[in-house]
């Protein structure tokens, strides 16, 4: 991909985009296509589409997997491998020694170290928020009211879905609005059987195949970006040379590059956003080169902060001035507070004795989804909000006999046949916004780039703990009612950050006294700065949030261009 990375020749741009992940990629695409000259700054190292995915075509044993995972455990001691690090190329992640964070309570901060950010390694589950989500804070007196409703963002969901490519099934559920879907991926035999039995035994509960940002079918928009359909390799977290799932490299960078108006500068730590008190506007950014440690400034009329929720808020907190002594836009005192994630690592599993003449083909890069059903309609629980389930079915492989005492020809013959069908469900629950859940900066412990240590002080509360009782029991009950045997439940506990769905800390709201951003992701008190990643969220829902970041970013970029033309920025 031919990108201009010689940003030193021109220090002034129409817009600066900080971060190149899901949100940053959309910001760069939308702003360049609308005529703006854009500088994209990324802390991570370059990662070329197709040729840069060095692990994507390897088999698991090519790199001595055991040795690789042992090395990861040493290099990433704070980042559990089941949270994503161990399933993707090690070079995609920032070593803990460089993340500059500390935990007052258990917290997991998985930070990418590449252009494209977590858009390369994400799970691709793509669901819309509903008015049940947008209205919940106001109805229950929790946090602050969202300044938008579903109708404000519905068309933007449709816009980004058509470009990103989301495969899925329409269900007609108010709590999970339908979208612009490509054909759904097929469900396995056991999943279809369990679906029928759950829906029969528990009216109102629905199982569907995941709504995934993997192309089950390509259209002209995808082909124009050099993308092709999913190959069913299930090696997505290594990077996809086929461009078959949404990532910055496959989807949003190509059209931005084609405009000739994008400059990408990797290896760039944005240390602060510069503010002019007389103009009451941001003027640009201070950047430290990751490799040389040299510092320089870049200037622009508009700044989009898309560094990921925690990094974006840390940047705003570090951007102090006489006007904003506690961080850019922090008149409300809310910056850094109301940190949210999803709580998970809880569910159930079981075996199905029937269907032994059935099997599945390929390695589907997707699972199943059971949308939220608790606290919907007439259902009322002793906790607020709800949860959904992800998971899937498969047949046991040779590993089922690893611990057995059998040997010889009879064992080898048995292992040429698949074992029982198995099914697993894992719940993802909503985390309520709470002022006491926060991050803050310790400026007495800077890293080698001069950035302060980020300190996390957040936990799941009583509401989440009450919810987990149903998350476990319901999963077991559904699998048992579906006729599965050897059903077991598990609760492996979970720390905030573990789901890698960090949200909040620079929330949207109506009132500048209680929120940081308005309904267009615009900083209330610094009109030319927009924050469109997870930091903006006023509540977390229980669905994967990345699709909402895409829609909010595209909407905010359109608004920013209109405001610029009207000379209000």
List the domains of the chain with CATH numbers: 11-50+112-168+215-341+435-447+504-569 (3.50.50.60)
Quote the pLDDT of residue 2: 42
Report the C-alpha gap between 151 and 156 in whole angstroms: 10
Q: 64-68, 223-227, 315-319: which has the minimum mean pLDDT?
A: 64-68
pLDDT band (50, 70, 90) for residue 82: very low
- Supply the pLDDT for residue 359: 84
d(CA 470, CA 50): 43
Least confident of 346-355, 406-415, 529-538: 406-415
Q: Which residues pair with 369 in a beta bridge?
A: 208, 390
pLDDT of the residue at 100: 78
% the chain with pLDDT above 70: 89
Max avg pLDDT among 35-39, 355-359, 448-452: 35-39
pTM (predicted TM-score) = 0.93
Range from 75-79, 87-91, 372-376, 434-438 carrying the lowest mean pLDDT: 75-79
- The stretch 369-377 carries a mean pLDDT of 97
Per-residue pLDDT, 561:
98
Give the lowest-confidence range in 10-14, 124-128, 136-140, 457-461.
10-14
Residue 9: its pLDDT value, please? 58
Report how far residue 434's alpha carbon sits from residue 460's, in angstroms, rounded to the nearest whole number. 10
Binning pLDDT at 50, 70 and 90, where does residue 77 land?
A: very low
Counting every residue, how long is the chain? 569
The mean pLDDT of 386-411, rounded to a whole number, is: 69
Q: Is the pLDDT of residue 63 over 70?
A: no
CA 526 – CA 344 distance, rounded (Å): 36
pLDDT given at position 303: 98
Q: What is the pLDDT of residue 83?
A: 45
Mean pLDDT, the chain, whole residue set = 91
* Residue among 446, 444, 418 nearest 100 (CA): 446
Q: Is the pLDDT at 203 greater than 80, yes or no?
A: yes
Q: Is 379 buried (19+), middle (13-18) or exposed (0-12) by CB count in 10 A? A: exposed
Identify the CA nearest to 485 among candidates 423, 440, 439, 433.
Answer: 423
Query: By the 8 A CB rule, do 207 and 197 touch?
Result: no
Out of 128-142, 348-362, 414-428, 456-470, pick the least confident: 414-428
CA–CA separation, 338 and 149 (whole Å): 20
Q: How confident is the model at residue 72 (pLDDT cuts 50, 70, 90)?
A: low
- pLDDT per residue as tens digits for the range 151-195: 999 999 999 999 999 999 999 999 999 999 999 999 999 999 999
Position 115 pLDDT exceeds 80? yes
Q: How far is CA 3 from the centre of its chain?
A: 25
């Amino acid at each position: 991909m031919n990108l201009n990375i010689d940003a030193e020749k021109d220090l002034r741009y129409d817009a600066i985009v900080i971060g190149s992940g899901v949100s940053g990629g959309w910001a760069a695409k939308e702003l360049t296509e609308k005529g703006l000259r854009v500088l994209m700054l990324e802390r991570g190292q370059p990662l070329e589409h197709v040729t840069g995915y060095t692990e994507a075509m390897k088999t698991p044993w090519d790199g001595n997997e055991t040795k690789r995972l042992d090395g990861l455990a040493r290099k990433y001691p704070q980042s559990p491998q089941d949270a994503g690090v161990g399933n993707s190329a090690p070079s995609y992640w920032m070593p803990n020694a460089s993340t500059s964070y500390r935990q007052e309570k258990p917290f997991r901060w998985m930070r990418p170290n590449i252009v494209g950010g977590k858009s390369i390694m994400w799970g691709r589950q793509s669901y819309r928020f509903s008015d049940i989500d947008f209205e919940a804070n106001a109805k229950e007196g929790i946090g602050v009211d969202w300044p938008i409703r579903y109708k404000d963002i519905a068309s933007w969901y449709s816009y980004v879905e058509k470009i990103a490519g989301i495969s899925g099934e329409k269900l007609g559920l108010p709590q999970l609005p339908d979208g612009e879907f490509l054909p759904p991926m097929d469900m396995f035999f056991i999943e279809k059987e369990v679906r029928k039995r759950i829906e029969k035994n528990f009216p109102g509960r629905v199982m569907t195949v995941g709504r995934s940002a993997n192309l089950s079918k390509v259209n002209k928009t995808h082909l124009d970006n050099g993308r092709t359909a999913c190959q069913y390799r299930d090696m997505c977290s290594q990077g996809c040379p086929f461009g078959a799932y949404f990532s910055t490299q496959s989807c949003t960078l190509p059209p931005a590059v084609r405009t000739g108006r994008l400059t990408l500068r990797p290896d760039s730590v944005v240390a602060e956003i510069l503010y002019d008190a007389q103009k009451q506007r941001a003027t640009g950014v201070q950047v430290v080169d990751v490799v040389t440690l040299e510092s320089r400034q870049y200037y622009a009329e508009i700044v989009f902060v898309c560094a990921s929720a925690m990094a974006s808020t840390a940047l705003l907190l570090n951007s102090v001035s006489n006007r904003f002594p506690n961080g850019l836009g922090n008149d409300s005192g809310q910056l850094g507070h109301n940190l949210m994630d999803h709580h998970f690592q809880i569910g159930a599993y079981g075996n199905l004795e029937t269907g032994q003449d059935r099997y599945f083909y390929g390695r589907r890069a997707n699972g199943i989804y059971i949308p939220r059903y608790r606290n919907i309609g007439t259902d009322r629980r002793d906790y607020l909000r709800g949860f959904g389930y992800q998971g899937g079915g498969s047949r046991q492989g040779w590993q089922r006999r690893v611990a057995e005492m059998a040997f010889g020809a009879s064992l080898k013959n048995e292992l040429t046949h698949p074992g029982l069908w198995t099914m697993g469900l894992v719940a993802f629950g909503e985390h309520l916004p709470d002022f006491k859940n926060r991050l803050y900066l310790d400026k007495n412990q800077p890293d080698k780039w001069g950035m302060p240590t980020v300190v996390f002080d957040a936990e799941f509360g009583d509401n989440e703990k009450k919810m987990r009782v149903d998350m476990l029991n319901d999963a077991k009950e559904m699998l048992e009612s579906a006729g599965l045997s050897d059903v077991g439940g598990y609760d492996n506990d979970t720390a905030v950050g573990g789901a890698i769905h960090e949200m909040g800390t620079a929330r949207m709201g109506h009132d500048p006294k209680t929120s940081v951003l308005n309904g267009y992701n615009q900083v209330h008190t610094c009109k030319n700065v927009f924050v469109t990643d997870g930091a903006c969220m006023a509540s977390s829902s229980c669905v994967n949030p990345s699709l909402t970041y895409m829609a909010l970013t595209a909407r905010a970029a359109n608004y920013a261009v209109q405001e610029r033309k009207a000379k209000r920025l």
